[in-house]
Structures are given as C-alpha cells and as structure tokens.
C-alpha cells in the first residue's frame, strides 16, 4: 500500500488529472478506499501547484499552501528501508507558532508538534500531512 499512497500523494500535491489504466468497476476495495479519501481529494482539487521544499539524498519534501494558510506536505522516502524524515515548519511556509496541528491525510490521525514536522516513513513511502499553526501555541 505505501507505493499507491506515494503515487496518489504526488498526484494530489500536483493538482493534476488522474488517469487510471484499469476497469473502474473492478477496483479492489483497498484501491477504492484510497481513491475516495476526502482529505487527499480536497488537496488535489484546490488547483494549487506544490513545490519541492527539501531534496535530500534519501528524502524529498513537497508542499503547498492551501487557502486559509493550511499547508499540505508530503515527506517522501526514496530508499528501500524506513527513514525518519524531518522538515521545519518555517521551511514549509507556516507562521511562527509554539505548536502545530498535523492531520495525517492517509490515517486521519491528528498529532501535535512544537516546530519540527517529522515522521518515520516506510520504504518508498510517504507521510502526508495537512498542517496548521495551533492557535493555542501562537507566538505573539
């Protein structure tokens, strides 16, 4: 499943058309669940192009700022083994804050961070987040 999530995360961040070379009436339930993910679809439908934020030897970070200031960010592992990937909130274009709210667009799990956005990413996989400054942690 990480490979499919990786491809669909890149598609969503690029806000590009999706072309499937398969019979849509015979997709397996797991593929249908991926294609019906409302959070991923919302990022794709905004029409905003993402940009490369980090281009490391073993990882890439691609992000775009949504209307309202939320950032959609994909942390991509380009290796054949799990990797820890990290990026600063400021590199993603997020405002200064003492705390950030991260929603994983694939698992729908919400976590909080105090600056660095990081995840343990499976081989050839992605951690795909919708990130915003948490009002309770805003720096004044």
pLDDT of residue 128: 98
Lowest mean pLDDT among 66-70, 107-111, 120-124, 133-137: 133-137
What is the C-alpha separation between 4 and 8, in angstroms, rounded?
6
Task: Reduce the secondary structure of 16-45 to three states and give it as a string.
Answer: CCCCCCCCHHHCCHHHHHHHCCHHHHHHHC
Could you identify the residue written with the tokens 């942390």? 75
Digit-coded pLDDT (tens) for 77-125: 999 999 999 999 999 999 988 899 999 999 999 999 988 999 999 999 9
What is the C-alpha separation between 50 and 63, in angstroms, rounded?
5
What is the C-alpha separation between 52 and 1, in angstroms, rounded?
24
pLDDT of residue 84: 97
Domains, the chain, ranges and CATH? 2-137 (2.60.40.1180)
- Contact yes or no for 9/78 (Cβ under 8 A): no
Torsions phi, psi of 76, nearest 5?
A: -105, 130
Name the percent of the chain lying above pLDDT 70: 95
Q: Are strands 83-88 and 116-121 parallel, antiparallel or unpaired?
A: antiparallel
CA contacts within 13 A on the Cβ side of 65: 10
pLDDT-based confidence at residue 137 (cuts at 50, 70, 90): low
**Of 22 and 132, more confident:** 132
């Amino acid at each position: 499943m990480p490979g499919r999530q990786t491809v669909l995360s890149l598609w969503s961040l690029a806000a590009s058309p999706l072309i499937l070379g398969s019979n849509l009436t015979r997709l397996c339930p797991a593929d249908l669940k991926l294609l019906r993910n409302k959070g991923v679809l919302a990022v794709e439908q905004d029409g905003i192009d993402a940009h490369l934020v980090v281009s490391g030897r073993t990882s890439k970070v691609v992000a775009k700022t949504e209307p309202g200031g939320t950032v959609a960010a994909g942390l991509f592992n380009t290796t054949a083994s799990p990797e820890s990937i990290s990026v600063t909130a400021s590199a993603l274009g997020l405002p200064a804050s003492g705390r950030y709210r991260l929603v994983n667009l694939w698992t729908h799990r919400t976590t909080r961070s105090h600056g660095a956005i990081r995840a343990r990413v499976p081989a050839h996989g992605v951690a795909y987040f919708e990130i915003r400054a948490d009002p309770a942690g805003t720096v004044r």
